[in-house]
Amino acid sequence: MFNFVQKIIYWVLSLQEKILRKNLKRTLKYSSASSMSKTGFSKSDSLKLTSQTEKNKEKLDFNVKSLLKKYANDPEKLLEFISKKGTHVCRINHTRVLLGIIGYEEGFIGPLKGFKAFYLSLMLTVLGQQVGLAFKTKPMFVLSKQPVDSYNMIQQFHKWYAMKLNLPGFDSEAQQNFQKFLGNTKDEDIKALSIDEILGLKEAIARDVEAINFVVELAKSTDGSRQAMGKITAGEGASI
């Protein structure tokens, strides 16, 4: 049963990653075509930013792995940690229907502005969550009251921690464009974006792909550990 579930997880995440990578190539194509419109950003500045981003990404994976080990991959303990770090964790009923109205799924929701922010804050306030009405919301977790799937929680936690490390792609414009991009966005819609919006979208997609890769690798290592333990208990330890 465990191996079957693992295969389903691999397939879903791998499919999602392929779709995101395909869409990322589209944004890169338009980003490259519009590169002449970038001003005031030197090559040395770009290299410095890229270097710092890579350092933060290494720190991200190391810290997330350490915290997962500390809290034994327990979603509820991870949510307690998130809450203590100042991010709202809202548990409500009917998340799929209520969040679906604005095109979101339960989990980590980045900063919002405008109607979606107002709708989200109104919905949560009516349901007894202390977020306050606003046309601009801070990043938060919105989850059902049911037990949280551990792999999904790890993916969401990875993205949240990336935001806490100030990795790019988590401003409200980038996040809202990302949500639109997950739908049936046409090439014309991307062409309508400014160069800054395209670059922000590219970073938002990159953060999602990184979170998916992290979960897949973690699942593989967990599966490998279980298989190794099975061999040991079956008396096959000498072949490992």
Q: What is the pLDDT of residues 139-196, one digit of tens each?
A: 999 999 999 999 999 999 999 999 999 999 999 999 988 888 776 666 777 778 888 8
Tell me: the pLDDT tens digits for 196-211?
Answer: 888 888 899 899 999 9
Supply the pTM of this predicted model.
0.75
Q: Are 208 and 20 in contact (CB under 8 A)?
A: yes
Residue 211, domain member (yes or no): yes
Domain of 166 in residue numbering reads as 58-226
Residue 39, domain member (yes or no): no
Residue 108, domain member (yes or no): yes
Mean pLDDT within 119-127: 94
Among the residue ranges 7-11, 109-113, 117-121, 218-222, the one predicted with the least confidence is: 7-11
Mean pLDDT within 83-102: 94
- Beta-strand ranges (E) seen in 77-192 are 88-92, 107-109, 112-113, 136-137, 140-144
Residue 220, domain member (yes or no): yes
**Is pLDDT above 80 for 43?**
no
Whole-angstrom distance, CA of residue 151 vs CA of residue 158: 11
Residue 204, domain member (yes or no): yes
Mean pLDDT of the chain: 78
Q: How many domains does the chain have?
A: 1
Residue 231, domain member (yes or no): no
Farthest CA pair distance, the chain: 65
Residue 206, domain member (yes or no): yes
**Helix/strand/coil for 179:** helix
**Is pLDDT above 50 for 46?**
no
Q: How confident is the model at residue 223 (pLDDT cuts 50, 70, 90)?
A: low
Query: How much of the chain exceeds pLDDT 70, in percent?
Result: 70
Q: What is the pLDDT of residue 5?
A: 45
Residue 155, domain member (yes or no): yes
Closest CA to 30 of 158, 173, 191: 191
Which carries the bigger pLDDT value, residue 211 or residue 25?
211
Close Cβ partners of 209 (under 8 Å, ≥ 6 residues apart):
17, 20, 21, 24
